[in-house]
Structure 1
Amino acid sequence: MHTFGRLLGFLRPYKSGVIWSLVLAAAAMVCTVAIPWLTGRAVDQIEAKDRDGLRNLAIAVVVVAVGRLALSVARRLVAGRVSLAIEYDLRTLLYSHLQKLELGFFAGQQTGQLMSRATVDLSSVRFFLGYGLVFILQSALTILLGAVAMFILSPGLAALALIPVPFVVVVATRYGRRSRPALQEVQQRIAEVTADVEENISGVRVVKAFAAEPRQLTRFRGNVARVFDQSMIATRLRAFYNPFLAFLPQLGLAVILLVGGRQVMNGTLTLGDFTAFYTYLLMLIGPMRMLGVALGLAQRASASGARLFEILDREPTIVSGASPLPAGNGRVELRDVTFGYGSGPDALRDVSLEVEPGSTVALVGATGSGKTTLVQLLSRLYDPTSGSVRIDGADVRDVDLVSLRREIAVVDDDPFLFSDTVAGNIAYGRPDATLDEIRHAAERAQAAGFIDELPDGYDTRVGERGLTLSGGQRQRIAIGRALLADPRILILDDATSSVDATTEREIKAALREAMEGRTTFVIAHRLSTIALADDIVVLEKGRVVARGSHEELLTRSPLYHEIATKGLVDQVCLNEAKVAGL
């Protein structure tokens, strides 16, 4: 009930629409209730052979039916607008909340699960709040008005005919209580299928490269079978309870035929009243059945709402500070920084590091030594467990996130491009940039040449994640994106790993110009990339174990000597392979 109450809270901004929807539904139900009464009077006129009275009643039935039609159409339009407005609010609320959550939240979530909650679960909630709630109230109102009319016609007969109604309520309540956990489990398994589909589509290149289609199909069939099995549990409940809910009112119908028919034979009830009474009871069967269906929708909405609230109730652990990043040239200081992912071991331990404005620092170390983790702390993708990260004298935890991240640009080894034009991707950090500025950034990133050869140049749309481009092309566009943003701090996470030697030299020439006057962190594995740096920091198991120039570290750091020697051997082998034409 708590979840259901919270869902009803989304109706608050649309109280007037909800009220109008209910008023229109009530008026339509009054018209619905009037038709059986008019029908009963018409039967009496037939028995009396009153042609004029019969004609007038037939006209009245048409007028009331047209009125009901108009009211029903108006009610559906109002309810539809409310439903779509709620959907808009829910989508916006969910998306904005996801944007506030820290990177660590997404690292522990499947994209497909989040997509399922933003689509399937959200639609269930939207449909119920927009339509299902009105169905419940409309059905209840129809039963109430019909019962009143029946008591007016014949109190005793009405009491007998309505005996099944309490049993309908009890059975519907029991059905709702049993169906909710079953439907919640169905929603969860549908989310698992969605996650599986998303993962297979995103990783289609790997699937095809390893000819793993049969294995993935087997896995997918298993997940779909889980949905089928759980849906069958919900279907069995529905298959029993819905027909049973439809059966109970038929008992009242039998009572009407038996008792009411005898009263007509005895002359204590007119044939017109009997016809009206019989029609009222037929009219109540639909709302009773719909009440069960609508309660099922309510249970599904509650199950979906619980899944949505799991996300909406998740408070972000990284909250923006109030002050903008102070002016400066990009001085970076880490003071006794320790950080670990979740309950795992620390990725960084007591790291203290000072980087002067405008300098270029290469971070070197084995895989898992903490290089990428360190630079992620600069833009507060994560917060340190202890210690502090300061930029131009300000603790990043006290700084407005937008102002902080606008001053830091990242180019990593697998850059993400949006399904947009080339120009749109380069201008992502500065949407107001002119085409000339975009072209200049592309030229500095050595990307202008291949962009001009694309079918539509800068207006060419790249595929999802930029997969219509090569790795080197994606990286050069990402470098152009970073250069156009004109950041105070530039982070190059192995940014030239996907380009050939010639292109690498061209990009590095551009990067030297781009790095001029701004603080740059270079995560490097190649000696040629390390050469871009003024200073080299060696990391091992999350600790800074050495710092200095290339020549100094060769003699002072066995780890760096090993890394440099291996890098040199790899480069020589690569060059020999190119000469041999391999």
Structure 2
Amino acid sequence: MDRRAADRLLLTAARRGGPWVAVMMATSLLLAGVYTVLPALMGRTVDAVLSGGDTAGWLSLSIAAIFVLMVCDTLDDLVGKLAEARSVAWVRHTLLRHVLGLGTRATRRFTSGDLVSRLVGNSARTGQVASTLVWAVMDLVPPLGAIVALALIDPWLCLTFLVGLPVVLLLVRTFVRDASDINEHYFDAQGRLAARLVDALTGIRTITAAGTVDREVRRVLGPLPELRRHGSGMWRALARVSSREALTVPLLEVAVLAVAGLELAQGRITPGQVLAAGEYVVVATGISSVVSSASRLALARATAGRVSEVLAEPTVRYGDEKLPDGPGRLEFRGVTVGASGSGAVLENLWLTVPGGALVAVAGRSGSGKSVLAALAGRLLDPDEGEVLLDGVPLPRLDRSALRKAVAYGFERPVLLGETFADAIAFGPRSVDADEVSRQAAAARADAFIRRMPEGYGTRLADAPLSGGEAQRVGLARAFVQAGRLLVLDDVAASLDTVTEHHISQVLTGAGALADRTRLVVTHRASTAARADIVIWLDGGGVRGQGTHRELWSEPSYRAAFQPVTGAGGEGPGGAGTGLPEGADAAARSPA
């Protein structure tokens, strides 16, 4: 953990508490001042009672100080929470925006559960630093004031206390060091537990089907012993410092009171000053409050380290250029994308996708098809080389220009928004209800959406969808947002043959998508057969490029497609492929 980065984040978060931080500092300072003055007022009251002085006056001042103490304590808690709320909101907003700005790199560097843990729990603890920091500083004021007060009562009292002060400071320093290390390990284990829980919830159907609930419970709760060990370590650290406090504070108090008794016997101080001296020793050795503040700061520092670790990851940088008019031509120039431990997925790839064409990307699993699709719209940046859209390198494009130009459809789409209408319209372009329904019809989603209780206004949470239905809604969203380039990453995987044929007609027809460049990753020969060009990936590069008919003579090319045969099949000799005339022949050409 970068401690300096964590400290900078804490200071920034504290400042984000706004004007409430200043109010809290004022009330805390007043509170600390009253704590410092109150023992002296009580001592003066005792002396007034014993000497027949102005008892009523000193007693009134003591009562007033206690009243101010109560009011300031209440106000301090209130403004502290207000400052915390502002700081926590800023930390969470900053972290969430940064995580989303990382794009797909976020979940490659950190697991989803770990990110949730940092965004929810760690951000809250980090945001509490505004009040924690103020109270930690103000907790030092009464002890320092008490030391000065002891010196004013009698220098020997102050000197007696200062002899034992290094022991108190050593206790606090040791506790802060131990607590920082323990908290760092504790929150790391907590993040791993959260990551395993999210994984289990994501794969709950597999767990249920496999009957491995007990095994999964043990896996998810695996970090618990470590969590318990670090938690117990914190309690042991607190117990150590508390036990030493229980020994140190009374010894110091007895020593100071013994000296005060001698001074009283010699007439150098009054009985009221003896009482005040006893109270000031307790205030000056207020290790409980100092340790409590140190503990909260150690927690905040540990969580700030986890938050700053995410913030240290560089986000995707965009340029400020706009796209010129163009057909959506895509160029890959010397592109290399590495895969750790297994060589390059794509290596020195040179490829041009003509504008306005329907281009299928085929190849065996692991040949880099989805990587190529991710590069096309800058969901991924190459390790070497560059990708250009209509002659402009993608990193030089303005974010808005790039996102409006490129739309994606995914194999397993995540539907975002409250309703079906929201999910289909989700994206940078504003669209009306007619466009939403028109593109839903193109994706063959309109019919089943209209059968929902409230049609397009039906909440997604109230409408469980099959894989094919979710895929069609995702396709509708891609059609709505399609600019000059539409990238479809194996979107036909969950579609039946009839629906897939209909989608292919939309992609190949003379409708709204006809002038777009359509880059389609596919495992289906029928989809490749309808494409203007097929790019065949193998061995980290382009092994072949041409029409499906031209490439079909290669056995390795045929082996790249799903070996589905029989009714509705796509392989050579399969019946009922549902292909248009000509395409069916191409898909079923003999080797």
Seen in structure 2, the aligned counterparts of structure 1 residues 195 and 281 have a Cα distance that, compared at 3 Å, is: same
- State the match for 2:458 in structure 1: 460
Going from structure 1 to structure 2, the CA distance change for 1:145 and 1:413 (only over 3 Å counts) comes to same
Larger relative helix fraction: 1
Contact preservation (8 Å) 2:525, 2:570:
no
Q: Map residues 56-71 of structure 1 onto 2, 5 A cutoff.
A: 56-71=57-72
Q: How does 1:207-286 map to 2 (within 5 A)?
A: 207-261=207-261, 263-264=263-264, 268-285=268-285
Work out the CA distance in 2 between the residues paired with 1:206 and 1:431. Answer: 37
Q: Unpaired runs of 5+ in structure 1? A: none
Q: Structure 1 residue 45 and structure 2 residue 44: aligned?
A: no
Partner of 1:323: 321
Q: Percent identity?
A: 26
1:34 aligns with 2:37: yes
Secondary structure of the corresponding residue to residue 260 of structure 2: helix
SS of residue paired to 2:35: helix
Aligned to 1:408: 406
Where in structure 2 are the equivalents of 1:487-502 lying within 5 Å?
487-502=483-498
- Aligned residue in 1 for 2:298: 299
Distance in structure 2 (CA, Å) of the matches to 1:224 and 1:577: 56
User: Following TM superposition, by how much is the alpha carbon of 1:43 offset from its aligned partner in structure 2, in angstroms?
Assistant: 2.0
Distance 1:4 1:449 in 2: 53
Say if 1:126 and 1:186 are closer, same or farther in 2 by CA, change over 3 A. same
2:557 to 555, 560, 564: 560
- Give me the whole-angstrom Cα distance separating, in 1, the residues matched to 2:354 and 2:570: 36
> Contact between 1:36 and 1:279, CA under 8 Å: does it hold in 2?
yes
For 1:404, the aligned partner's letter is L
CA distance in structure 1 between the aligned counterparts of 2:313 and 2:171, rounded to whole angstroms: 36
Within a 5 Å distance, the mapping from 1:307-386 to structure 2 comes to: 307-316=306-315, 318-342=316-340, 344-386=342-384
Q: 1:55 to 1:333 in 2, by over 3 A?
A: same
**Contact 2:328 2:389 (C-alpha < 8 Å) held by counterparts:** yes
Superposed displacement of residue 179, structure 1 = 2.5
Partner of 2:4: 2
Contact kept in structure 2, 1:150 and 1:280, CA below 8 Å: yes
Amino acid at match of 1:56: G
- Output the amino acid matched with 2:314: E
1:515 to 488, 513, 516: 513
Counterpart residue number, 1:288 = 287
For structure 2, the residue ranges without an aligned partner over 5 or more in a row are: 578-591
Residues 521/214 of structure 1: CA separation in 2 closer, same or farther (3 Å cut): same
Q: Deviations over 1:261-313 (max 9, x none)?
A: 4555665543222222223333444x321112212222222222222222222
Closer, same or farther: CA 57–154 of 1 in aligned 2, 3 Å: same
Equivalent residue, structure 1, for 2:173? 173
Query: Which stretch shifts more, 30-39 or 41-50?
Result: 41-50
Paired with 2:443 and 2:254, the residues of 1 have a C-alpha distance of: 84
Quick check: 1:246–1:288 contact (8 Å CA) kept in 2?
no
333-342 or 493-502: bigger deviation: 333-342
Residue 485 (str. 1) matches residue 487 (str. 2): no
Change in Cα spacing, 1:445 to 1:148, as seen in structure 2 (3 Å) is same
Please list, as runs of the form range in 1=range in 2, the aligned pairs for 1:125-204 lying within 5 A after superposition.
125-127=126-128, 129-204=129-204
Give me the whole-angstrom Cα distance separating, in 2, the residues matched to 1:114 and 1:297.
Answer: 22
Partner secondary structure for residue 338 of structure 1:
strand
Q: 1:268 to 1:107 in 2, by over 3 A?
A: closer
User: Does residue 109 of structure 2 align to residue 111 of structure 1?
Assistant: no
Equivalent in the alignment of 1:427: 425
- 1:342: how far off? 4.2
CA distance in 1, matches of 2:497, 2:365: 23
Shift of the 162–534 alpha-carbon distance from structure 1 to 2, 3 Å rule, reads: same
For residues 519-571 of structure 1, what are the alpha-carbon distances to aligned partners after superposition, in whole Å with 9 as ceiling and x for unaligned? 1112122233223312222221222222222322223x232244469355684
Contact 2:533 2:547 in 1 (8 A): yes
CA distance in 1, matches of 2:272, 2:559: 103
Q: CA deviation at 1:509?
A: 3.6
1:530 corresponding residue in structure 2: 528
Distance (Å, rounded) in 1 between the aligned partners of 2:477 and 2:82: 41
Q: Does structure 2 retain, via aligned residues, the 8 Å contact 1:525–1:567?
A: no
The 8 Å contact of residues 114 and 192 in structure 2, kept in 1 or not, is answered as yes
Deviation at 1:354, TM superposition (A): 2.4
2:587 — aligned with what? none
Mapped contact 1:338–1:351 kept (Cα < 8 A): yes
Secondary structure, aligned partner of 1:216? helix
Change (3 A) 1:562 1:174: closer
TM-score by length of 1: 0.90
Runs of 4+ in structure 1 deviating by more than 6 angstroms, as ranges, are: 573-578
Q: Summarize the Cα distance change of 1:93–1:199 in structure 2 as closer, same or farther, 3 Å threshold.
A: same
Task: Give the SS at the match of 2:355.
Answer: coil
Give the C-alpha shift of residue 162 in structure 1.
Answer: 4.6
Distance 1:111 1:562, change over 3 A: closer
One-letter code aligned to 1:61: S
Shift of 1:246: 4.4
User: C-alpha separation between the residues in 1 aligned to 2:100 and 2:561?
Assistant: 41
TM-superposition CA deviations, 1:124-161 (whole Å, max 9, x none): 3222x212212221121001112222222232233324
What secondary structure sits across from 1:531 in the alignment? helix
The 1:160/1:565 distance shift into structure 2, 3 A limit, reads: closer
The letter of the residue matching 1:291 is V
CA positional deviation for 1:49: 5.4
- The AA in structure 2 aligned to 1:300 is L
For residues 346 and 510 of structure 1, the distance between their equivalents in structure 2, rounded to whole angstroms, comes to: 35
Pairwise CA RMSD: 2.8
Q: Could you tell me which residue of structure 2 aligns to residue 75 of structure 1?
A: 76
Say whether the 8 Å CA contact 2:363–2:561 is kept in structure 1. Answer: no
| Residues 1:443 and 2:445 are matched in the alignment | no
Contact 2:404 2:429 in 1 (8 A): no
Give a deviation string over 1:141-197, Cα, whole Å, max 9, x none.
001112222222232233324533221112211221232222211111111111111
Deviations 1:10-38 (A, max 9, x none): 44566865444333322222222232222
Alpha-carbon distance change, 381 to 229 in structure 1, aligned in 2, over 3 angstroms: same
Match for residue 96 of structure 1? 97
Query: Aligned equivalents of 1:351 and 1:137: distance in 2?
Result: 59
* Equivalent residue number for residue 589 of structure 2: none
SS class of match (1:324): coil
* Partner secondary structure for residue 363 of structure 1: strand
Once the two structures are superposed, the pairs formed by residues 386-397 of structure 1 within 5 Å of their partners are: 386-397=384-395
Q: Is the 8 A contact 1:135 1:290 kept in 2?
A: no
Tell me how far apart the structure 1 counterparts of residues 6 and 338 of structure 2 sit (CA, whole Å): 38
2-side partners of 1:269 and 1:255: how far apart? Answer: 16
Out of 477, 497, 501, the residue aligned to residue 505 of structure 1 is: 501
| CA pair 444-571 structure 1, distance change in 2 beyond 3 A | closer
Is the CA contact (8 Å cut-off) linking 1:163 and 1:252 kept in structure 2? no
> Do 2:356 and 2:517's aligned partners in 1 also have CA atoms closer than 8 Å?
yes
TM-score by length of 2: 0.89
**Gap change, CA 1:450 and 1:15, over 3 Å in 2:** closer
1:29 alignment partner, SS class: helix
Count, aligned residues: 570
Structure 1 residues 410, 323: closer, same or farther in 2, change over 3 A? same
C-alpha distance in structure 2 between counterparts of 1:559 and 1:126, whole Å: 58
